[in-house]
Structure 1
Amino acid sequence: MTDTTFASRPPQEGADDTVQPFAVSALDVRGRVVRLGPALDAILDRHAYPKPVSQLLGEAVALTCLLGSSLKFDGRFILQTRTDGPVSMLVVDYQTPDRIRACATFDRAAVETMTAEGRASTVALLGRGHLAMTVDQGAEMNRYQGVVALDGATLEEVAHAYFAQSEQIPTRVRLAVAEMLTREPGQPPRHAWRAGGILVQFLPESQDRIRQRDLAPGDAPEPGRPEEFSDDDAWVEARSLVETVEDLELIDPALSSERLLFRLFHERGVRVFETQTVQDRCRCTRDAVTGMLDQFSAEEIADMTVDGAIVVTCEFCNTRYHYDPASLKNYAGTAEA
C-alpha cells in the first residue's frame, strides 16, 4: 500500500465516491475519510424517498463505507437496523473492494406527518430496536455479527457504542449528509445528494493504553463501583480534533479529503494511503433470481403468477425481472393467480 506524508499543502479539490485511509503515528491513530457524491445520489434518486429518509439512509451508507472499506479479504459488510420507528429498516450492503447498495423500509404517512410537524429527527425516525453489523467472509467461513441497541441514539452514537462494547477500540465517527444544488454547463440546476464521514481509532501498541471506562453500575455499593482512570492524552487530542469537524467540511466538493486531514493533523504529521473507490452497483443478476424462483413449489409459483407472468423487483436497485412461469423448474402447468 502506497502512502504520502504531507510536507506541503495537499491539493484543494478531491474526488467523489472515495475512501481515504490515513494514519497519525504521533497520536497512535488510524482512520478513514469517505466522500460520496454521484454514487449516493444514484442510490437515493432511484427510490425517491422522502427527504428525511434519504438523509438517514445517506448517513448509513457513509458509515458502512467507512467500516466496510477496512476489510482485507473478499467479502461483505452489512449494516442493518430493525426498529419500531417510522423507518423500520435500513439495509446497506458493502461488497469488497468497492460495491455499495442500500435501501430503506418506512411508513410514508408517518414520515410525512413527522416532517410536517418538524419532528423528523434521526432518533424519532428510527425509534427503538437494534443495529446489526455483519461481516460475511463467504460460504466457507463463519459470519461475524455484532449487535447494539438503538435506543434514542444517532448513528454516530451507535457506532461509538458498538466499538466500545464489541471491539473495545476507542473510536470516534462524524457523519454528514446534505442535498445540494448542482449546475452543469448547458443544463438546468438540479438537487443532488452528498455525504461524508470521518472515522478515527486509537490503536497503540500497548493494550493498557486503550482501557475504557466500565458501564455505570447503577446502585451498586461503593466497593463494586468501577475504577476511575483518565483517557490517554494522545487519544484525547485525536478525539477532540475529530469532534471539531463541521458538516460542511465533510460534504464540500471543493475541499479534498487530504486537505481536511491536513487541517486536522498537520502539526502531528499525517500519512495518507492509496485511495479506495466506491461505486453504486447492485449484486442482483437474472441467474440469481432464477435460482431463487426455482426453489419455490408449484403451488407457490401459481400464487406468484399475475396475468400470466411473475415479476420480481430488486429492493436495492429497482430492477424488474419478468418470467414466464412455464420457464421455472417446478412449474406444474397452471398460471392462474
Structure 2
Amino acid sequence: MSDTDTLLRFLFERTDVRGNLVHLDASWRAVLDAHDYPEPVRGLLGEALAAVSLLAATIKFDGSLILQAQGDGPLRTLVAQATNTHKVRGLARWDATLDPDATLTELFGQGRLVLTVEPRVGEPYQGIVALQGERLSEALEHFFSGSEQLPTRLWLAADAERAAGLLLQRLPSAAREADDWSRVGMLAATLSREELLELPAEQLLYRLFNEEPVRLFEPEPIAFRCGCSRARIEQTVKLLGADEIEALLAERGALEVNCEFCNRTYHFDPVDARQLLAEDSHHTPPSQHQ
C-alpha cells in the first residue's frame, strides 16, 4: 500500500470542518511484536494508537499526547502515546481470559478515560471523564462532548496488520453552518470497518465525500519509537536506593529492567549497579560544617 504509516490531513472547502485519516502498518506491527496480546486487547490497543495519532495532529504543541483508559475490569490499563513528530508507542495490561465479543465497558468495568498533553516545556494538561460507550470511538466522542473541546467524530479499526482511523472536527467559526457538520458526518457514517482498513487514503475519501470539495495536504510519515534508553533506565534504577539495589543483587545476582513498551531488557551486573550507586554518591554535595 502506498499510504502505509501515514497521516493525511484534509479540509472541506467553504466549511468549518476538517479531518485526519491515519494508517498504521509497520509502526503498529512493531507494537504487537513486543507482546502477545489477546485479540480483544489487540483490537482496542490498535484503535487507541490510531486515535491518539489523529488527536495529536489536531493540536499545535511540542511534546506528547497520551491516551489512557483504566478500570477495575479484566482489562486494567490501556496506554497509547503520539508525539507532535508522529512517533507512536502503546501497551496494555490485563488480568484474565477476555471475551472477544465484550464491549468496552465490559472489558474495563468501572473506568475512566484520560487525555494528557505533555509539552517538552511547561506544565502538562490533563482531561478526565468516565469511560462510557461500547466502543473506544464512543468514549472519546463523549470526552469531547463533555468538555469545552471542539465537536469531534471518530471511526477506528484494527486487525493484526493495520490500525486505522478517521477523524472529523468542527472548527470554531463566526459563521457556523450546522448543516455542513451534519451532512459531512452522515456521509462519514457510511464508512465500514473493511473500507477503513483496506482502502487507500485518497480512494477512501473519494468514496465518502466525492460530492464535497475536499482539499488534501501532503501525507506525513508515522513511526514506532519507544523512547526508552539505558540512560533513562539508569535513572530509574538509582531511584530504588542503595538498600533496595543491594537486596536485589543478593537475591538475584544482577538487576534486569524490562521496558513494557518495547519489551527490551536492560541488564545490570553487580559492577554496573554499584557503579550507579558510586556515581550517585559522587554527585551528593558534601555536608557543611560550621
For 2:215 and 2:153, locate their aligned partners in 1 and report how far apart those are by CA, in whole Å. 19
Q: TM-score with structure 2 length normalisation?
A: 0.89
Q: Which residue of 2 aligns with 1:290?
A: 234
Contact 1:77–1:94 (CA under 8 A) maintained in structure 2: yes
**What is the aligned counterpart of 2:113 among 100, 125, 131?**
131
Secondary structure of 1:329 counterpart: helix
Secondary structure of 1:141 counterpart: coil
Query: 55-64 or 152-161: which moved more?
Result: 152-161
Q: TM-score with structure 1 length normalisation?
A: 0.77
For residue 86 of structure 1, what is the amino acid of its counterpart? P
Contact 1:136–1:144 (CA under 8 A) maintained in structure 2: yes
Displacement of 1:298 in angstroms is: 1.1
Check if 1:307 corresponds to 2:255: no
Displacement of 1:172 in angstroms is: 0.8
Secondary structure of 2:213 counterpart: coil
**Any stretches of 5+ residues in structure 1 without a counterpart?**
1-12, 180-192, 211-231, 333-337
Instruction: Output aligned runs, 1:167-178, within 5 Å.
Output: 167-178=148-159
For 1:133 and 1:125, locate their aligned partners in 2 and report how far apart those are by CA, in whole Å. 19
Instruction: Output aligned runs, 1:265-280, within 5 Å.
Output: 265-280=209-224
For residue 308 of structure 1, what is the amino acid of its counterpart? G
Q: Which residue of 1 aligns with 2:284?
A: none
Check if 1:95 corresponds to 2:79: no
Q: Which residue of 2 aligns with 1:322?
A: 267
Identity %: 40
Displacement of 1:282 in angstroms is: 0.5
Check if 1:164 corresponds to 2:109: no
**What is the aligned counterpart of 1:63 among 51, 75, 84?**
51
For 2:77 and 2:247, locate their aligned partners in 1 and report how far apart those are by CA, in whole Å. 26
**Any stretches of 5+ residues in structure 2 without a counterpart?**
281-290
What is the number of equivalent residue pairs in this alignment?
Answer: 276
- Note the alpha carbon deviations across 1:71-121, whole angstroms, 9 max, x for none: 4332000011111111100011212202111100101x332xx34xxx433
Query: 285-294 or 122-131: which moved more?
Result: 122-131
Structural RMSD (CA): 2.0
Contact 2:257–2:266 (CA under 8 A) maintained in structure 1: yes
Displacement of 1:331 in angstroms is: 9.2
Displacement of 1:304 in angstroms is: 3.3
Contact 2:132–2:138 (CA under 8 A) maintained in structure 1: no
- Note the alpha carbon deviations across 1:94-152, whole angstroms, 9 max, x for none: 12202111100101x332xx34xxx43333212221010000112x3111111121134
**What is the aligned counterpart of 1:238 among 170, 173, 184?**
184
Instruction: Output aligned runs, 1:14-33, within 5 Å.
Output: 14-33=2-21
